[in-house]
A and B are shown apart, each in its own frame.
Chain A
Amino acid sequence: MKRVISSKPPRERLFINARILDPESGFDGHGDVLVRKGKIAKIGKSLPRDGAGRDFKIIDCEGQVLAPGLVDSRVFVGEPGGEHRETIKSVSKAAAAGGVTSLVMMPDTDPVIDDAALVAFVRQTAAEKSRVNILPAAALSRGLGGSQMSEFGLLKEAGAVAITDGRRTVANAQLMRRALTYAGDFGALIMAATQEPSLSGGVMNSGLSATRLGLPGIPREAEIIALERDMRLVAMTSGRYHASCLSTSTSMDIIKRAKDAGLDVSAGAAIANLTLNEQDIGPYRTFFRLSPPLRHEDDRLAMLEALRDGSLDIIVSNHDPQDEDTKRLPFAEAADGAVGLESLLAASLRLYHSEDVPLLRVLACLTASPARRLGLKCGRLAEGAPADMILFDPDEPWVLRDKDLRSRSRNTSFEGARMQGRILRTIVAGRTVFSRTPDHA
């Protein structure tokens, strides 16, 4: 599909002295990367330092990590309809600062992105205002109503990268069955939320913590039942299916079994569910009210195991901007969700620093794996691939402050958190869209 960055990419940039990490090939070594006209032209040791034309610059990476830009497959944006929470422009700034070079925008907007014209609107707005690639996902059901299929063919033709009802679970099994069947004809990917609505009336994980806080719980079975049902439907229809955001240990077993059975399924998890648990809610902190809810530590550990063994494919920010009106409320009355684009890499690196998941595997779940699943060419450092890259220091310590966030909403679960590892530079199509140092190249 057409690239959405508006102006022409710079002609030549040479990134020298980098620790190159490419999760797709598993390469981890020292070298240089030459970028020409927005694409990676050459990767190697000691590439010639003299450029061909006038628009040529050398960027010294000083031994820091150069990796593919992050691909975030679950991001909620306020525009259109909720611009006070987040606009396409503000989400792009946040993404650039977080090292996210491509993001999939969920269709839960007002109006809902359920029509080819609205997909075109998002792409047009993104082309004008965004520094990163914003890839719209289209609604599975018209108006997210959960009853009538939207026009998958036309939506895909207009540029929708996936079909999803966003944060809503498709409760109607017949609709899900038809959607999986019909989407197969267009090779479209169904991305599904998996929270059985009739069991999801609570506001946090069901269990002792919820009982102690006097809050209604969401049992793990709400997710397990929805996911099991979908696995049966995938087996029945041979559809392409991605579970957007899982949270329980049993879900990991279900996905593993489905993959072993040869189904075309993949699974994602939000970084919050991989790094936090229900105890973090503490005294009713609404910024930890998330969907799916933060669950027990045993669930978190099982998901880390699944990340290592490959059952879990993708890490997402689940970026969901909410303003004070929806968050500064009693816990049970507040909205779900937290922003996450700007903390995605640093929070993910916690899994590496804690020695739970190897660095290349963490990066693969943030780059190559989602790119491949969405059919994108990015997410890798290879000659001919788009020059969407990040430069980061995997070790720099810093403290996240909500006032420093570029997102229009500041509902982060990581306020005051100590982080290790920080983005230095974000490059989209060879152009630096974010840099911690002022020398924009």
Chain B
Amino acid sequence: MAERVAKRGGLGIAQIPFWLTYVFLYVPIIIVVIMSFNASDNLFVWSGFSLQWYPTVFQNSAIMEGLGNTLIVAAGATVIAVICGTLLAVGIQRYTRGGLIRAFATAPALLPDLLLAIGLLSLFALLQFTLGLYSVMIAHSVFATAFVTAIVLARLAHVDPSLEEASRDLGAGHVRTFLRVTVPQLAPGILAGALLAFTLSLDEFVIAFFTTAPTTPTLPIVIYSMVRFGVTPEINALATILLVVSVTAVLVAQRLTKFTENL
């Protein structure tokens, strides 16, 4: 049977929906980035290139306070998530069979934020836990733990289980084996999980909004309250900075997990 070699493409016009969809994905981000360099303070009029909005971001005390809160929350949540997620992943690998426990351990990463937010708020109320940075930190560590668990589990699948037995055989107890053999083997996964946890916490809004106190807003909450009075180029500059930070972190995390798979 005669077959023609299939060409990529075909009719030019048929490609339009594809490209439109692609543009649709990125237009909002591109607009934010471009407008952050707009000299005018009118959002809809381009009046020339300027970097003036970037310094103003750092002079805005509300933004700086929010950023400080967010960094504390993200750092704390990351530490908790890394410890819990690693232990959880190792425990799942070692002590359970079948996928159900595994699936439930990583599910909070996919659950609606709103569900987690309401649940956590009820839990804090029940325990009479004072809302503030700590409550957000704990709340964020819940979904962050799920992410770290998933990534470390993926890494674990590539680790030779006889390494731990070799360590024990050579005279190392459980703790020494965990710290000297298990953790170094998992390091790329743990680091990737940490970066992801940090990035996700950095711009998380819904859960933070529910579980923080009015006196301790995180950066996304600060931005939200500013935006209610109109988007300023300053916000665009801030959003662009956050974009660069998140994209970098995610790319590094991806590289680390790739690196992991190639080991």
A and B, one complex? Answer: no
